[in-house]
Structure formats: structure tokens, C-alpha cells
Amino acid sequence: MNEKILTDTVARLVTPPKGILAIDEGTKTCAGRFEKLGVPNTEEKRREYRELLITAPGIEQFISGYILFDETIRQKAKNGVTFTSILQSKGIEIGIKVDAGPLDFTDHPGEKVTSGLEGLSERLKEYKKLGATFAKWRAVYTIGEAVPTAACMKKNAEIFVKYVELCQEEGIVPIVEPEILMDGDHSLEKCYEVTSVNLQVVFDALKAAKVFLPGLILKTNMILPGKDSKVAVFNREIAQSTVRCLKEKVPAEIGGIVFLSGGQKDEDAVINLDLMHQSLIGPLPWPLSFSYSRAIQNPVLRTWGQNPGQVTRAQMLLVAAARNCSLASVGKYQHEDFKKLSRHPQ
């Protein structure tokens, strides 16, 4: 393991004011989003949409890395240039989703563990040859009656350890993504409790395995009430709760933290990140930025889906959304009504 390669890659990914754009949606996810817009879910249409995202002029001012899907890392633009070459020419790091998705956790109804460790070492070697410098592995946890259990948290933490070890052996920065889902009617306080316990379990396992903490990035949910919650929660409460939880549970020596947008309204994801930086009491021990998918892509996909010929317009929306996230990552996002905004029940 070359620690300098890992820390150099981490620095390029999380140095302010940039963040990561996740375009690692699998075929099934694309199908759901495309069908709503009447777009055929073909490989060519997926390639066409991804080319729009990857070739957007000026996106490199705000985005440090793209997380790709297996299909995407192998695709080319219409002119025959590989997507990876285009990203490299912009100075953008190439990431790759390497987990194979969640499977039912045996004897634990309603709980999931993430699959994909089998053959991962070989896949990482191949992705590295294709240009990947970082990877992502996601585990999901639902808040409900008696879940998530300690057993589920422990099992996913053990899997995270193996994934991190394999990535770091190849000089690939691992992003660890333990996501507490917004599904349900739980309170902000319950999300705080579950996230806090789970982060403790994950980092206890990583520390016990003696992985190189400065050479990894945490991708996490914000502290949010469930989407079916009936209680309005102000953005500032979300921001303060999230920072407090992370400062309590995440080791100071990790490379950085990025957020997923996780089903929030697009602007809430931006405002909450902005407020985390505006309301800080004392410095943070790690960079705190974004790794959004829908919060950046939503207006782009709608515009392109309604009129695939409006590539320039869609790319302008992409860059504008990325710029807003970039500003939020340093506490400089401005909104005329943002002090009045709160996250109300859906």
C-alpha cells in the first residue's frame, strides 16, 4: 500500500471548494428515472445522457471526481473518445461503484447486507487500468421497529473493512457509504441515535483492522427526519445535528466527509450543507463537502428527457447546480429566502 498515493488522491477529491458528482446509477435505477420522462432505457440512451454529464464545459471548476457505473467506465463519447480520457483531460478523478447492491440479511427480516466482495480484487485491478483512482461501497439501513439491529450493523462493518483493505492495497481510495435511509416516519432525534451508533460500529471495525484512515473518505447521510414524519424541522436543526453527530463519532484523521443527498429536496441538500459551514463553532477536523447525484442531476435529467436536443441548456443547468453545491461546501451559498426555509413534511 502506497499511503502517499492515497492521501494525494483524497486531497484532490476533497480540497475546497469542490465535491463529487455521483453518476453511478445502475440499469434498473436508470430505467425508473428514464421511464418517468418517456425516455427508452437503452444502452445508447444511457450513453448519450452520460456524455452530456461528462462533457459539460466548466464542470471541473466545481467537481473533483465522478463516480461511474461499470457500464459507464467502459463507454465512449460519440466522437470515439473514452469517457475516462475526457475526465482525465479535465483533471477530474475517476471513481467507480464496486458493490453489487444489497441482499436480504438471513434471519433478519427487513434488513440488508451489501454484496460484491467476491472477485472484487480482480475487478479493482481492472478498474485501475481503466483509470479509476477511487471507489464507492454502499450499505443501507432502515429505521423501524427493532431495526437496524446490532448484528446487521456489525456484518456491514465487517464487509466495509474487507472492501477498504482491498481498495487500499491497489492504491484506490475507498469511499465508505453507510446510509441511514429516509424511509419511514422516524424523528430527527431517532436518525441521530441510529446514525451515531452505526458510525461508531463502522469506525471501531476499521480501526481494529488498522486500515489507513487518512486514505479513505466517508460518504454519509445527514441527520434527517423520515420522509413520512409529520413534524417540520428547520434546516438549521438538521445542519447542527449533523455536525454534532459527525464530530462525536468520526475520527479526526480520516481523509474527508461527503454527503449524499438521500431523497431530500434538491435545494434542501444545498442549504443544509451551507448551514453546516455557516454555523460552525470552531474548525472541523476534516473537509466536509458533497457527493450528490439527484440533487445535482434532477433539473438536468428533466430538461434533457423532455427535449434531448437541448444538450447545451441541460449542461448549463448541471454546471449551475454544481456551482451552488460548491458554494455551499464553503458556506457561501445565497438564497433570497433561505433564512425562512424549513424542511416540512413531504
So which residues are the catalytic ones?
177, 219
Name the pairing type of β-strands 112-114 and 102-104.
antiparallel
Other C-beta atoms closer than 10 Å to the C-beta of 183 total 14
The CA-based dihedral angle spanning residues 197, 201, 204, 207, taken in that order and rounded to the nearest 10 degrees: -120
Alpha-carbon Rg for the chain in angstroms: 19
Single-letter amino acid code for the residue at 275: L
3-state secondary structure of 85: helix
Exposure of 231 in the CB half-sphere (CA atoms within 13 A) = 14
3-state secondary structure of 209: coil
**H helices, E strands: number in the chain:** 12, 12
Q: Which three cell numbers stand for residue 172?
A: 484506490
What separation in angstroms does the CA of 23 have from each of 29, 69, 217, 223, 317?
11, 7, 18, 23, 16
Nearest to 132 by CA among 48, 74, 49: 74
What does DSSP assign to residue 177? E
CB 270 within 8 A of CB 284: no
